[in-house]
Amino acid sequence: MRKKNFKGRCEKRKIDKCVEVCRTYDPIQYAYADLLQVSDEVTEISCNIPLDGLEVGEHTSDFVCIKANGDLIVRECVHRRLLMKPLTVKLLDASRDYWLRHGVTDWGLVIDEEV
């Protein structure tokens, strides 16, 4: 999860399952995009999707994907060392609540230790 107009280092690349150019901002996002690309379960990948109307400010979700059965999955990439920080918890809760309001139940975290 990032601020909407994040100004950090960005790596742009073309991924077959991604309609637009995939922009990754850290190694976790980069590695997870590769995992999604080879997954037979995922048919389409969208990166850095804006979360409109959040109370905590303008932020984006890292990955919103369409599965083969048409369901949406949402994944937020987080460094393990930031998991217990109050702001990180607040932002992740806001993201989860946002997607639940939009009918998405498959919401999860991607942590650097898992990738």
Going from the N-terminus, what domains does the chain have, and what CATH number goes with each?
9-111 (3.40.1350.10)
What confidence score (pLDDT) does residue 43 get? 95
pLDDT digits (tens, 9 = 90+) for 53-81: 877 778 999 999 999 999 999 999 999 99
pLDDT of residue 114: 57
pLDDT, residue 56, reads 75
pLDDT < 50 positions in the chain:
none
pLDDT of residue 2: 75
Q: What sign has the CA pseudo-torsion 25, 101, 92, 52?
A: positive
Rounded-to-integer distance, Cα 10 and Cα 114, Å: 22
pLDDT at 113: 74
